[in-house]
Structure formats: C-alpha cells, structure tokens
Structure 1
C-alpha cells in the first residue's frame, strides 16, 4: 500500500519535475498514472492549476507542499530555465524540510547531469554566452551568473544522490522497427520499480532518528572512569564480546567523547579486515600517522619506515588510540609493545571477539560487553520496527517473542526490526514462523531473516554482490560499476542502509562482519558444487574451480587473492611480483565462464592466451599483474573499471587499445611504468589514477581528448617533468592531483581555459622548482607561468598576470609543505572568488598572507603545523579553521566584526590567547593598572610574580602560568591564591549560594556591571598533581535574574586549580550585564562544583554606568556577550549555557536513550534546578560530542 499523505502542511505526496518535450508522452504521463493508481497524491504541471492562476507561483507552492519529488532528468532538461528553477527549489526544500528526492536519469548519465556534460554542457554554454551579450549591464550580468551557478550546484547535488537509470541495455546501434516496442516493455517494469522505490523513500522519511545509543550509557561508565583515573601509566583496555554485541559502537562512542582531551588520537577501524589486504599493515600505519599528524597525507614506503615515523609522532604526546577488531595474537603483542613509545597518561582501547588472545597476568584491563537487558532490547527493537521506543499495541506479543529470540544482540535487534518496519501483521506472523525454526544463538540464521525480507530480487542480488566483493570500497566507485551491470545502485544502497544491512562511513561501504558472513553463506548454500554458484569469494573454492577448469556460466563474480593466502601460509611475495607463487593457472580455465562480470585476480600468474578470458567483464581488478605490457587480446570491450595497481607493467605500446565503455583506469603504484597508454580508444574515461608511479615520465598527449575525464591523479609521480599541452582541453576535469611530483617543472599554458577545474592539490612542490629565471618564456609551458608565480613575482614580462594561467573556477587549493612565506604571494590570487578551501599547512608562514582576507567565499582554511605562525590578522568569515600544532600562534582576528568561526581545531596551540569575539587571555601584568581598577580589581601588583596551576579549556591541558585575565561572554575573570574575599567587595556570604536585591545608587544611575568573587579549595579526599587534565574539575557560575526570568550558566574556559587541600584559590570576576540586570531586580547566584572542589566564601560589589564606559568601549564590537547575541547558546527562553569547551557531564551514565530515566548528580541537579527539560537541551551538545547549536568550538 502506498504511503499516505503526511501532515496537513502537505497537499501532495509527490511533485513531478520533467521536460515535457522529452518525456511527457512516452514516460512521464504513464509514471503519473502509476503513482495515482498506487494512492499517491501527485502534482504534474498540467493537472490542478486553475485557469488564469499564476502558474509559476502555483508550482512553487506545489513544491513546498509536497513530501517529495521525482525529477526526470532528460537530454533537454537543462534547456529549460523553468525546470532548473524548479530543481533549485526542490534541493532547497531537501535541505530545509527533508524533502525526499528520487532522480530518474532518462537516457542520460549521472556524469552528464552532475558535471554538466553532453547536452547539459551545450545548454549552459548558451546561458553563459547570453550572459556576455550587451543587453546585460554589470548588475544584471552578476545576477545572471549567480543564477547559473545555482542551477549548476542543484544539478550536481541531485546527481550525487544517485537514482534510477532509464537506459535500454545492449541495444543494437541501428534502430529497428521493434525498438519502440522494446522500450515500451522496459518502461512498464521500470515505472513499477520507480513507484516501489519512492514509496519506500517516503515511508522511511517519516521514521524518526532511530536511537543509536540505547543502553550505551551504563556500558561506558566504567570505561570513562578508567580513562580518567589519573594514572600516569600507559593504560590498555580490551573490550571483549561476540559479534554484534556493540563493541565497535561503544568504542566509537567513548572515542568521540574523549579524543579532544588528548594531544593526539586515532581510531583504527576493522584492523582484522585491513590487515588481510595487500600492504594492509602499511595502510594501518598510514591511517595512524594521518590521524596523529592532524590529517596530513602521509607517504610510507615500508613497515620499518612506518614504525620509525609512528615512534617520532607519538613519543611526545598524550595519545588516545582505539584499535578495532584485533583478532591475532601477533597484533595484540605488537600493540602491547607500543606502550614504551607513548607518553605517560596515554590510553589504548582494543576491541576483539577472540578472548583466546588474552593472556593471564598481562598489564591490560579486560572489559566484557554484556548483551542488552529486556528493557533495553525492547527500546532498541521498537525504534527500528515502529519509529518509537515501545511497540504498537497490537504488536506487543509478537515483539516480545522476537526480542526474546534476539538474545540482547543490538545488531540482530536492529536488522530484524528494520526488516519489519511498516509491515503488516501477516508479514510479522511469517517472520515468527521462520524464527521458530532457528535454533537459539544461531546469529547468522537470525540475520538471514532480514535478507529474506528484502522487497525484491534487485536488492537481494545487490546485497550479495556487496557482501562478496565490495565491502570497504568507495561508494561512488561501486555505483559506477554496478550501474553498468543493470542495477539502480544508489537506490538499492539506500534500501540496504534503511534496513541496517549496510552503512556508509567516509563514503566507504561498511557491513558488519556477521552480515557479510551471512551473505556469503547464502551464496554457498546455492549449490554443494562451487562451480554452480553465482559468486566465488572463498580462496579454496575459487582456486579449485580455476585449477581443475570446472567453471560454468552460472558464476557472475570471482575473487582469488594469492597475496592474502600467501600471507596466511607464510609465503613471501617480493615487491610487486607474483611469479614466485606455487600455483600456476591457465587462462583457458575461464573458457566456460563467459557470464563473469566481476573478477578479482590479485597476484595471480596466468599463462596462455587471453582470448579465453570472459568478454562480458565489467570490473577487473588484477593487483600485481606480472607482465611488462598488456597483451593485445586482453578483454577490454565492456570493461567499466580496470584496476592494475602494484603491477609490473613497464610501458604501453603505441598501438591504440579500444575500451569504449571504460570509466576508471587505475595503475597506481606500478613502480616500473614509464608511459601511459594512447587514450583515444578510451573515450569515456572519467578517472585516471596513476599515483605512486615513481618512474612515470611520459603522459600521452591524447589525454587532452578525454572529454569526460573528471579526475587525474598523479600523486607522487616523482619522475614526471611535464604534462602534455593538450591538458588544457580537458573541459570537464574536476580534480587534478600533482602533490609529490617533485620534478614537475612544466604544466601547459592557458590552464585558465579549464573552467571546470575545481580541485588542485599541489602539496610538497618545493618553492625552488617554481622560481622563474630570466631565460624562462612565461608564455610557454613553463610551470612558473602557471603555479610558480604565486611564490615569485617575475622581474621581466610584467604584462603577464602571475595567476592568469590558473582557472578562477577553483574551489579547493592545497599548497601544503611548499616552503611558502606570506610575502611571496602575488596580489591577484585574491581574484579566486570561488575558492572555498585553502590548505597552506606546514609552510614557514609568520602571519596571514594578505590575499586570504580577499577570499570572500572561503569556508575552510588549514594552517596546521605552521610552526612560525604568530598571528592571523584579518581572517575572512571562514567556517572551519585548522591551526593545530601552530605552537607560537597567539592572536586571531577577523576582517569583519560580524565574522565568527564555527569550528576551530587548535590542539597544541599552547600560546593562543585571543580569538576575536570569542575569548581573550593575557597575563595580568600586561593590563594597565587603571583598567584593572575600573574592573574593580585593586592591589593586583603584588601578584605579578605568582604562578597558578590553570585548567586550560583552550589547549585541554593543566599547567602553570603567570596570573591570567580571561575575557569571554562579557565576563572578565582571574584566578589567584587567596583565602579570603578582598575588602573592596561590598557584600560577603558564607557558602556557595546567595540571593540579593540590586540596590539603587545614590545618584539613581543604573547598574551596568557586577563584580563576583569566591574562595574555593580542593576537597579533602582529592589531590591534584597538576600533571593531567581532569574533566571532573567542574566549576559553574549560575546567575539568575528572578525579576526578568533570565539566567546564565557560565563555565570558564580557564580557571585556577588548587594543588593541595590547604591551598585555597580566589576567583575574581567582572560581569558586564548591559540592560539585563537593573536596579531593584532580585538575583540568585550559585557556585556549583563537582566533587573535586568546595566553595568556602563569596562576595559581590556593583558597578554603575560611569565606571563601565571605558570597559565597554574596548570590547564594543564583541557580539556574543551578555546583553548581546547569545542565540547560539540558548537552552530555552531566557536561559543560556555559556561554555566554549564543549564539555560537560551532568549525570550518572545509567541510560542514554531515555533522558527521563537519567540520574543526575547532585551538582547537576543544582545546575538545572532538577529540570529535565533544560538537561535535555544540552545532552547532545556535550555528551554525544556535538557542539552548541552547530557552533563547534572544541
């Protein structure tokens, strides 16, 4: 049954967007009828618009009042500005309202749409030509260009969603009289599938976010206690439990909660699976180094080199490591050996299902993950089966029986719950009958229920393909391949995600090992004879079929990985060579396997003629290919992707090879390769990947005629000196990677013509390679005329613009580790107004290059490990700033006072003392005495030589500093040793809470500020040696204006820590309230601490208008202050949580999914007056690792 129209705000279920002249008669009208017949309220542009009504406004209303849209993208879609305007509105509604979008690619490809190629390119060429005509003045031209860019962005975003591909398969070139009939029959089935897909999407759209964290609170309580036990040892914790129990989920949760509290951190997922792959240990080392070095892309050529670099990276940093799915004793021994490398106070968390690895009397702590209890199991199952935390009334008994059979395993509960979402009682009864036949604790058989419940054969086949071949692969890569195998891959992937059978992490397809094993078992049970199965992915099965030449036409995919097996049996493969493997196979083993579409032969040596290989191959991965060249009869006719990474290829012959369907060519790390193929036989290539081909010196000039090429990756091609001049003809090239091409001196001139180029990565290109000489001809292909002139202004040929040869279309530019200084950039780099991401990390910059302030669209600026960087003055309105390991950086200011950074990474910025508009921190001695007196701070000179142990929320550390004055949120504060409230405070109170009425001044001047002080000490049961960050050091100041019903809960970014119980600390503060507190108001103040501190005495005094004037003038531009704009910190009406550290714990971690059941600590109860509503507001801001109202400020 179709999804019913939703809440009253929706008039329609579906809006149909299409180009009438392309599809109305043949396709769209029939689709409309099918949707209506299925019960969907559907809007089509000639249906429901009354005569005389303004059509465009009606279309706008129809989009806003529809739950979703089907967008039929055809060859002439982009010729209609009307259609493109519709599309922009549809995309905007997706962002703002969760509007569902299902694209249908009708005789066009996803690349045509997303990259505006083919007929879409022609349409935009007309628009841009029109823009250049004389009928437009500058303002109109700017508006028109902006509209064109919105159209392009909308098409790109919709294409990225994937969708349904309407393309007849294997049609003859010449149209015959039966083709219309064929298309008609194909369209009928396609339309029915489209109706089913949109129904599922709309049903899933109303499902609330299923709670991922049921029962997790009680399970992380002990782990967090261990993390923060104050031990100076390098602690190791092993999380044990069966597959599907939630080990990885818990480890990720703990990691996300705590990683910012360490100087370095890394989460290495799927160690077992990664270590089984070729160069798996190297890959793990690279990932670890990339994490530790804050995102730096690391090149490691050997395990020995990796070990040396890891030691150098971690030996001076308190580190948190999470190593997921360790399954071999050698892996565990290696981890235990790392303890000596790490700084005291570091922590390592390991997850494993193999308890036999553990040895008695070892130094690690073992924590066994227990199954969910009955209450937790019911909650988790209900979220996925019903979209709420309890079952529907008529499903209670069914639910209880199913939950009982799931044995408290989160994976099984989620998978089976998802498979029953919105299913009828008849389906539930059928599922129960199947479950009753499964013995208890048979996890794979329980999971197979979810496979059986998939709605159609398409999704079942797709699930098995992914389980057997593509777990861990890039999503876009897989979509490219499987779309050509007849799948609606993106739609199918989303269906599998909805049913918890698949996840996507960093754009990689992830599947729980138990689900993967279940899928492979489904295939194994197809036949007792391996050669009769649809897929062969077990080593022994594949080897025997090929060895004994018993293959048949039943098999669609096969994997044989000799490198993996050789590692398991101790055989060593030297370098990229596979010829020394004991098993020699022959090509005629494939003679009867002509239906193979997916083939992986890693490090397999084949002898014989390649004419026997299957002719229908779509994906062929042959890592370690052992021949020097590709034979002429190699089957390329229908290949979509050819991956020959780590091959022993040396060169391609001059003879043109034909691979007219190929989209992806990957020859990465072919260390002996010196040239590329002649590309004219590869007209549809979209990705050419040659990274790590260290001897590559010649790229064929035919590269420039690849009209569909999107990616050219030449990373670390160290012998390459130039690119062909025809490179500028790549009009659709999106990404060019030349990082690590240390000998690249020449790029083609006129790269400004490459107006589609969005991403240029040129990391590690030494400045000396760019420098111009008097003999250089800038108009030629010298690299100086293209990229180098950003670092050196030519003395000759001044008429040449230094950046004229780079396209201004760039969105992302990476120039990390290029030895650049801030005064070597030319002025006109600021003309790159489209630039959104700029990476200048690991350069000897001392300040912000002047051009950066002109980059009006810049969103992300990376300046990691710029060890000479002292200040960033005039920063544009960036959303993300990365300045980690800039150890001498002190000040960050903005071009505009309205600018504010949404996310800043600043680990190891130990000298950072000001981010304009957010905080300012300086030693007290640097402030004029007169200003301190105006603040109400007197007799401060005597403290100039005093040092205090500070808890620093800026660098997440505790260390000694001279007395500091902090300004944030309109509050000045300082901590210093002291046992009594100073005499200049007018009112003093014993204890930590007090109330008062603001007095009137003698001249009836309104109060503008309040001075607050209190004395606190370490509790007698707690001592702090100052060596470790203690998150339990809780210190809140809560001020409530009862008269105006306003309150502020303030957690200072920095405050002093008493080192011993007898060492009292004095906290002085000045609060600027503007008009938020007035004479006669009734005010409550509470100092709320955790168990570590006790408050002994408090004091207040009042500041009036005349005294405040000088203070307010100095910080007048700051917006996020009391009385200013605190919207980002609002908990509820009139209540604000003023905290920049993004850290808070206010409860005993007993339950995370049901906040009503949480048990708050005593200080948490005081903080929120027992109000669970306020508590709910901050639960995900802090505990879940999210930042306040998307204002991330770690």
Structure 2
C-alpha cells in the first residue's frame, strides 16, 4: 500500500535534547491504491530509484478489512515528505484514508511536505468528493465502525486536494509526466538541506561558494576541487553538496577515504564501488585496473553523473577513477577533496575551492553545541574559557568538535587544565588526523615543516630561504612550495604562516624523538630544555637548531652564570641555527659549530669568540648588546653573510673593513653610541640594501662618496654629531636624517629620483635647503617638523606632485611662510601644521580635494580658516575654534566645520592623526 525511501538525515545539535529528537528515517512516503501498484506507482518507484531516492516497497498481501499496519503509520511519522497518488479507487480503501489522515496530521504538526498526484481523476471531483469519491464515502458511512472517522477522512482529502499538485490526464504521456513529478520531488528534497535539522555551522557560505563553481545550469562536464588542511571540513562540505544536488543527476557515487582505501584494497576495489553505486556492475564481473578504466569510461560517457572522490592524495587515483571530462556525459560534476592543491592543478581541475576556517562567531556556536548542546554559552562563568578555546582552534572545526565534546558536562577546573595542556599537547584524535599530512611528506619536506613549526612560523619567506638553502639536505624553495600545496603552510605578505595546531603537532613530533633527553632531539625551542642541554653539556650530533625566544620585559629569568658549560657546543656538530638570549658567559666558551648559518646571540657577554670558530656558511650574524670592543676577524671573512646586526653594542668604536663580506645586504649598528668611524670599504658593498646607524651619537660623517648601487634605506636618525652628508647612490628610496647636525644637503640629492621618503625633522642646523628638492618625482612623504625657523618655503612645493604626506609641525611658521598657491601639491592627503604661529592659512588650501587629515594642534594664534573640502578631517586642540573666524559670510566659523568637529569621534580622530604624523 505504501513505499518509503530510507536515506537518513542529520539532526541539529542546537537543541539540548538533540540526542533524543526525531531523526527522519525516510525521505518520501508513497500513499497509493493497489490499482496503481504495478503500473504508475511501479514506474514512479523505478524513476525514484534512478535518482537515488530509494523507496521502501511493501509487497505483503493486504487482507481486506484488516486494520492498517502500525508500521505504516510509524513510517509516515518518520518521513520528510509524502506523495499521495489519488486514483479512482483511492477513497474506497480505509487503509489509504487512514494514511491520508495521518499525513495531514503530520503536515499540520510539523510542516510535512505533501505532493498530491491526480491520477486519471479530476481535481474538482476529489475536492468536492463527487463521482467515485462520493460513492466511496457513502459506502463507508454505511459501516457503523467507520462512522466517527468518515468526517476526518473527508476533511483530510479536501485539504490535500487543495494543495498544488500534478494532474495526469487519461491520454497524457505517462513517462514524461513521471519525469516531471520526479523533478518536483527532487526539488523539494533539495530544499531539505536548508531545514534546521540539516544545518551545519558555517556551511551556508561554503555552499554558496561551491554553487558558483558547480554552475549546475551549465551543460559542460566540470571537475571541482576542495582543498585544505586536515579537519577543516572538506569531506563534510562535499557530503552536503552531494546530498543537496544528487537528485539532479542520472547517477551518483560518493567514495570516501580514497587515499587509505586505495592503499588497503587497491584502486580496482574503488572502481568497482563507483560502478556498483551507478548500478552498472554485475556482481559476477571481475575487473583489473585497465579494464576498470575502460568500463567506467564506456558506461558513463553518455550519463549525467555526480561523483565525489574524497581525500585523494595520488595522481593515479584520479587517473583511474575520473580520468578526464570525456569519460562522463554532459552536465556531469566530479568533486575531488584533497590536502594537495598541486594534485588538482596537475589534473587540470579548473575550479578549486580552498576551504577556510570558521569565523569567530561560527566557531563559538559550534564549540557551544558540542560543550553545552546549545548554540550559545549558557553560563557566563564559562564564556571567557569558551573564547579561549575558540582562539586556540583558530577556526578549525575538528578541534572545536573534539575539545567541545570532551568538555561536555565537565567542571570548570577541568576546562582550565585542558586549555593549559592543549597549548603543548594536541588531543590524540586531532594529532592523529593532522599527522596524516606530515607522514605523506618526503624527508626534506619533513625537515622544512619541522624547521618552520619550531623556529620560523611568521618569518619572512626570503629570509628562511637564505638561511636554509645551499645545504645537502635542504631545498627550501621547492619544499616550501610543496608545503603550501599540501595545505600545511600559507604565504601572506611574503611571510610563512602555519596554523597554530599544525605548529603544536610539529613540535610534538620533535619532542617524541626523545621524550626524556632533549639533547637527543633535532630542534630545541623551550628555554628549560635549552638551559638543561647547555648546562649539562648533553647536546648530541642530532641537534640541528637551538632557538630561544627573547625574554619579555616582565621576565627575570637569566641562566645562572656558572650553569653554561664552556664545552656546551662541542658535540653538536650538525648545529645550523642558534638563537640564544640573555645568557651570561662568565666561564667563556671553548667551541662553536663551524656549520652555523644563523648565529643570533643577544647580550653575548664574552669579549672573544672561540679561536676554532670559522663559520664560513654563516648567513646572518645578529648579536644585539654584545660586549665586543671590536669585531673578531672571523666575522670579517664571511662570503655568504647577508645580515650583520650589532645593535646596542655600546663598546664598539668603529665599523671595520668589510671587503671580506661581499654579499652583505643589511648592516645594522643602531644604538652603538661610541661608534665614530665607518671604514671606506662600505662603499664597495654592491648588494647592501639597508644601512642603519640610528642613534650612533658619536658618528660625525660617512666616507665622502658611498655610491651603493643597491642601497634602498639609509637611517641616520638621532646621529646628533653627524654634520656632513656624503654623495650617495641614486637608488635610495628612504632617507632618515632626523635629529642630525647637518647644515646642508648636497646638490646631488636631486638625482635621487626613486626617493619616496625624506625625514629632516629636528634638523636644527639645516639652514640651506636645495630648491632642487621639488624635482624629486617619487617623493610621497616629507617631514620637516622642528626645523629651522629661517627655512623658506615660498617656492618650495611647486613640483612635489606626488607628495601624499607633509609634516611642517613646530617649524615656527608665521603668516606668509606658506606659499599662496598650493596647487602643486595635487596628491596631498595628510598635512600636519601643528605648533605653528600663523594667524591664517592660504585660501588655496580649500582647493586640496584629496586632503583627508589636517592637524592644527596647538596653533594658538590661528584666527582665520578657509572652507575646507567636506572629506577633510580636522584635528584641532581643545577650544581652538573659539579663536577662529571663517572666510564664509557672517565672519564666524562655518557651521559645516563645527558640525564635522562636533559629530566626529574626537579620541578616534586624535589617534588617527597621531598615527599619521607619528606624534
């Protein structure tokens, strides 16, 4: 009498009672009279099967007069929608009418979807119960047992007949009609994914993005890839898409865990699974790999199919299961989930969706669903901890589910303990899942992954490549590219970023190299482990890197001066990287590995280095606050050295001969307060891009001519004795001379055609300023704050058409100091005139249409202010406008300016101006 489909759906977990709420057991309940069982209903049944709507068929003989089966009534309650086939004899069956009454009850109670089909009957006869339907009810009324039910049956029939249905006329093509009916049923089932019981947190945005890639209206054959790190929801998204759209395809197959299943059972088993799902394989048919390819290609080339290949990790898996577009019929869609983006690219998959993590709000909702079985945290005492776990997971759904589920019903002290533990150790389920990607890497790729996890997360990519290339077991460019493609790493703004969970996973892998003796691990980053190894001289040849973070200002931990062994590095022959902070070397140091590529030792307190130390492969030498009186000879013969940084080394008195370091790119002696000489060899450093001598207060000059062809940034800020600026290379982009004693700039400054920033702030002795400065075509930022009061600006700005920021604060400017015509500053957006003594501003300032910020802080004598563009934000101090008159009619400040000042958020505006001008 009835048929049902048996595909289960997923309940929502947003309700606290979700564990006991109804699970829809069936998709469709077919209510029909026996007269259509072997004709229309049978054909509809088969058509639904073809669309993967699997009907349940009750073939039991029905005894006339027997009560309706209890199982059928239960099936109705457990069905998401019903299709009622209203044939001529439908109303003559009390079974059918009982079913119908139950269907209407479910339709009204829980909005069950109902589709009536008027099979060779007129809809108006059904609504008004005429003809066969009237006769059937007259017959029922004669039976005393039915008297109380007849009216209920009549009402139910009328209610269903009034719904929008489908009418099959006697002479109509039944096969075409069935196709249209199946399409209607499929369409209604597709909307189920939007029902609350199908809701998955954060899935809406993913489905919308995937809809664009799927473009189901297109008739082409399309491959779509979903890529991302483990546990990010690739399989879940593919599952939602498959369930949502599979009814629009002739056949479909979802093959999970392709990677592991192909290893366990071979790819032939997966080929057979795909064909079996499509109902295209005989149970007796035996395949091999090549035959499987031929069978899939030949039997599906004319069929519109939806296929999901989940967790693919090898090219041959794609080649044997879904070779190319020619294998499948028009309109087919093949979805591939993988951690390896390059695998998709190699297979020429044109549409790739990199799945993103959950937003903070979504992550909190998912975590609360697991931890409390509600969408929100019900207890404010736990809210901060919830947010801490959300921050820790950083949008990773698997972590939110695992940790949230673990914490369900646990007391607060358990939450706190788990949060602390999770910073060091991943939950075993998360560790296992994330390690899958790591285990699939090659040896050099694993080394690169662990280096980044332990030392270089967030570092500039080029720096990491420089430090690690040209070694026998490391190929950073290709290995980093592989890690990016395998979703283990991202590159944002040239920096390497590894998800925090992956970093913890990588560090745990290193810790497990030897859980007891840190000196037998490949990498050390924890200060306690580093101190133990250095203090006990327990380091071995396995140690490749020692990198400790710099102490924060609030930490007072310093290694006992007697604790470090002078022979601490003697056994660490493979050590490549050292970063040690605040270690006292009162007993000296007898050895260092010659294979070092990075030596970063902050506050190196010994005035010598071991005599045997010849670090010929050194790329970076960073020794802040060292105690050296002069640089050791070994540091001056380093052909691969690119960075030398001795910031804060207050005992150094001169920069020595650097001819033995031809590859230097960055030279930093910031805060070397006793340094007064720079060797002329600095002019031969053809690759130098940065020279930072900030706050070298004893430095008086540089060599007369330092034509550094690559120099991009020169910083002499705070060199208060520096008075003579040399001839300089033409490629300079930024020049900081603020706080120096220079009296004039060389005429050659006009040749700095690439200069974008010039800082001459607080140059009190600067009396002559070359007029050619206005010919600098690339200059965007000019800072003259606190400069000499005799500085003339009348003809100064005529050619600065690229200038965006101009700082003239505290220059003691009087009326007339600024030129009347400011039209040359056509790109100006930020103007700082704070702390000056003019009473009015040039009228032409009102023509600066691009001006966004104007600072008039502490301009106490200002009385007249022109009308300014509506987009200009003014930053005055206190009640400055009480002294200002406007050039507009009425002689008082314009209402426009007053309103802008009154309605603006003062503190926010002040912060913005201070950031813009560096105040």
Query: TM-score scaled to structure 2, two decimals?
Result: 0.49
Query: TM-score scaled to structure 1, two decimals?
Result: 0.39
Highest RCO, 1 vs 2 (Cα 8 Å, sep ≥ 6): 1
Give the greater-gyration-radius structure (CA): 2
